Amino acid sequence: MVLTTTKRYTVAEYLELEEQAEFKSEFVNGDIIPMAGATANHNILTAKFLARILLALEDLDYSVFMSDMRLWMPDHNRYTYPDVVVVAGQPIFTDEKHTGIINPCLIIEVLSNSTGEYDRANKFKLYRSIASFREYILVSQNEYAVEQYAKRDDGKWVLADCVGEDAVLQLESVNFEISLRDLYKRVIF
């Protein structure tokens, strides 16, 4: 990541700037970091996951948000924009305009070449500071491959790899499954 300025911002300043910005930026402990644009594959995978999980959970007590919803991690003084976020029960918003939340149970990130390792390691570590967070899904853009991290009752995180066109991803935090064949339809490797 490249920082664009040396000025340190408050959360209030960031939120004010973000409200008027043409492009999204993350807030990292006083620094504002512009987010990179997404590829066609990234958009296809994000939209497919969002559409399918939204329909599957529509009549249940969950809220599903796309990448315009900010996620606040107060322990790390950080706002991010996950690709898809699911909240069990009522969302807890960070502001009156309902532009940020703090209580996801499930986060889905579509990996890119530039941010894949950040999403896999650093961001996952930060997300684990959220008490309600139970499951993390990382979707590859380059092959039929999904990494699934699920939090067990004893607090340990378990990794399951879902690989290959015939594989089926079964989520643990919500009642949802999707075949990789379906998820990756129209994706060009």
Side-chain half-sphere CA neighbours of 148 within 13 A: 19
Q: Specify the CATH number for 38-183; select among 3.90.1570.10, 3.30.360.10, 3.40.50.2020, 3.10.20.600.
A: 3.90.1570.10
- Contact criterion met (CB below 8 Å) for 183 and 49: yes
Q: How far apart are CA 15 and CA 94, in angstroms?
A: 11
Contact 111/139 with Cβ under 8 angstroms? yes
Domain ranges in the chain with CATH number 3.90.1570.10: 38-183
Q: Which of 36, 35, 32, 67 is nearest to 49 (CA)?
A: 67
Question: What is the predicted pLDDT for the residue at 32?
Answer: 78
36-71 b/e with 16+ CB inside 10 Å = b?
A: eebeebbebbbebbbeebbebbeeeebbbbbbebbb
Taking a C-beta distance cutoff of 8 angstroms, is the pair 158, 19 a contact? no
pLDDT along the chain (189 residues), means of 10: 67 83 79 79 95 96 95 93 96 94 97 81 93 97 97 96 98 97 96
pLDDT at residue 127 in the model = 96
